[in-house]
């Protein structure tokens, strides 16, 4: 079986092929991931029957861990979008106060936990001209603030598919609550930096958003009705994480833990989501949610298959020999996780793909840094998430959503939104490293 430097070259070649397949050859990620995983297994020296078994197990294992979460999160996101609840939440956070840019970053960060950042920006971009008038300033800084806030939690906080898939690959699918709590903590300084950077980068940019169409809803839902689909699963998952740290598996934990499981928590969140008012049949929401989740499930599962091939390689034992008796530094592992994800994101455009592939590469290295606790695994997941937001440019679909719906010229977007994502990613990894030393 291939090992040592040849193994590293084979893995590097596989990653480069993945990048070229999407960015140069225009291959769909389905075939790119499947053929890359199959080819890497053959090059490493695994038997074909073993490769097929690993592909099936990796695909099915990851889907089994996060599949229902992705589906339920997609349904909640569609419900918030179609009912107008997202606008109600926007009115709450933006309000009529000062620091509207900061409020927009916070709004985006909250909305993007269950709603994909692309959809969130499309939903809320229509507010930008009126908000600019209210703020007495330009549209561009507000557009960048909103885009950055949505992008932040899209790569950091479950139940967004990327962080969920990365957690499953790392064996941290049981630590989703910890990832959410630490992700929220990491997001705090990044939110502030995003606000300030957006104001600076957008100060000399003219943005003219396209005309917006009227909402399908004549009236938006009440504030309480709009918030419950978001708050209920978050509260339940966070409660489960707190109880697991403060109680044993007896007493109240036995009766409450079932409801705090992420799958059950999101399932309960769909109840108030599907009760939101609509002139459209609720079955259409479910159908559209399934349509959104389907392609993500397939790509996520194939990322798990690719990760299974990597885990079957002797990479971990090779690295163990290279580092000798000394364990791999936790700081080194976190920086390595960030760097690989940033390289993949910059080169091939997909944050979710960068999260899935990087977590598969990093997973065999966790024992070398003695990373096994929920906190350790959460920090690695967040480090990968920080890399997966660095850097967004023309090969990223969200880049085009931001430029199109904000009215920012392409050249100006390269001078503003692209460096903003780099600043955000660097701030994430710095905060993660601080938490690593503190916790």
In DSSP notation, 47-75 reads -HHHHHHHHHHHHHHHHHHHHHHHHHHHH
Q: What pLDDT does residue 212 have?
A: 41
**What distance in Å separates the CA atoms of residue 130 and residue 145, rounded to the nearest whole number?**
15
Is residue 112 pLDDT above 80, yes or no?
yes
Identify the pLDDT of residue 214.
Answer: 41
- Which pair of structure tokens corresponds to residue 47? 């038997």
Structure tokens at 388: 């997966």
Query: In 262-329, which residue ranges form alpha helices assigned H by DSSP?
Result: 262-274, 282-312, 315-323
Q: Which residues does 170 contact at the CB level (< 8 Å), separation at least 6?
A: 359, 362, 363, 366, 377, 380, 381
Rounded mean pLDDT, 68-93: 79
- Predicted confidence at residue 338, as pLDDT, reads 95
What are the tens digits of pLDDT across the range 299-357? 768 877 877 887 787 865 665 566 554 567 889 999 999 998 898 787 667 788 889 88
The pTM of the full predicted model, rounded to 2 decimals, is 0.71
Q: What is the mean pLDDT of the chain?
A: 82
Task: Tell me the mean pLDDT in the region 209-214.
Answer: 51
Whether 413 shows a pLDDT value over 90: the answer reads: no
Tell whether omega for the bond before 391 is within 30 degrees of 0, i.e. cis: yes
Cα 121 from Cα 101, distance rounded (Å): 14
Per the structure block, which two tokens stand in for 270? 């769909």
Query: For 272-281, how does the pLDDT look when each residue is reduced to its tens digit (9 = 90+)?
Result: 999 998 888 8
- Beta-carbon-side half-sphere exposure of residue 311 (alpha carbons within 13 Å): 21
Q: How far is it, in rounded angstroms, from Cα 105 to Cα 308? A: 37
Stretch 249-260: mean pLDDT: 70
Describe the crossing of helices 410-438 and 139-156 by its angle, rounded to 10 degrees: 40
For 119, the token pair is 């959809």
Structure tokens of 126?
A: 């229509």
What is the model's pLDDT at position 326? Answer: 58
Q: What's the first-to-final CA gap in the chain, in angstroms? A: 39
Long-range CB pairs of 253-257, under 8 A, 24+ apart, other chains included: none
User: Does position 211 have pLDDT exceeding 60, yes or no?
Assistant: no
């Amino acid at each position: 079986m291939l090992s040592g430097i040849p193994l590293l070259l084979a893995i590097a070649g596989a990653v480069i092929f993945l990048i070229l397949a999407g960015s140069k050859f225009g291959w769909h990620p389905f075939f790119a991931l499947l053929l890359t995983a199959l080819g890497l297994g053959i090059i490493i020296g695994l038997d074909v029957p073993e490769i097929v078994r690993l592909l099936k197990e990796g695909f099915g294992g990851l889907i089994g861990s996060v599949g229902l979460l992705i589906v339920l999160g997609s349904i909640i996101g569609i419900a918030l979008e179609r009912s107008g609840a997202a606008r109600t939440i926007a009115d709450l956070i933006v309000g009529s106060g000062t620091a509207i840019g900061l409020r927009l970053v916070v709004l985006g960060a909250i909305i993007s936990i269950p709603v994909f950042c692309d959809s969130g920006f499309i939903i809320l971009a229509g507010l930008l001209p009126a908000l600019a008038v209210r703020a007495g300033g330009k549209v561009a800084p507000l557009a960048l603030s909103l885009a950055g806030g949505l992008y932040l939690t899209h790569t950091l906080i479950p139940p967004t598919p990327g962080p969920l898939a990365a957690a499953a690959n790392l064996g941290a699918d049981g630590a989703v609550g910890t990832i959410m709590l630490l992700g929220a903590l990491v997001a705090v300084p990044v939110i502030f930096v995003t606000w300030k950077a957006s104001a600076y980068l957008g100060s000399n940019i003219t943005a003219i958003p396209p005309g917006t169409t009227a909402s399908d809803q004549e009236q938006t839902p009440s504030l309480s009705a709009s918030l419950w689909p978001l708050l209920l699963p978050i509260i339940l998952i966070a409660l489960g994480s707190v109880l697991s740290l403060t109680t044993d598996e007896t007493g109240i934990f036995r009766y409450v833990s079932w409801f705090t499981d992420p799958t059950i928590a999101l399932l309960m969140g769909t109840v108030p989501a599907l009760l939101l008012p609509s002139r459209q049949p609720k079955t259409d929401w479910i159908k559209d949610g399934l349509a959104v989740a389907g392609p993500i499930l397939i790509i996520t599962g194939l990322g798990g298959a690719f990760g299974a091939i990597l885990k079957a390689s002797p990479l971990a034992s090779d690295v163990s020999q290279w580092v000798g008796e000394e364990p791999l530094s936790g700081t080194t592992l976190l920086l390595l996780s960030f760097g690989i994800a940033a390289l993949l994101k910059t080169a091939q455009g997909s944050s979710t793909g960068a999260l899935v592939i990087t977590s598969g590469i990093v997973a065999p290295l966790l024992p070398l840094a003695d990373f096994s606790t929920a906190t350790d695994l959460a920090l690695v997941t967040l480090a990968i998430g920080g890399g997966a937001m660095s850097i967004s440019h023309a090969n990223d679909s969200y880049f085009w959503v931001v430029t199109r719906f904000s009215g920012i010229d392409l050249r100006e977007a390269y001078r503003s939104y692209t460096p903003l994502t780099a600043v955000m990613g660097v701030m994430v990894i710095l905060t993660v490293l601080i938490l690593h030393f503190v916790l």
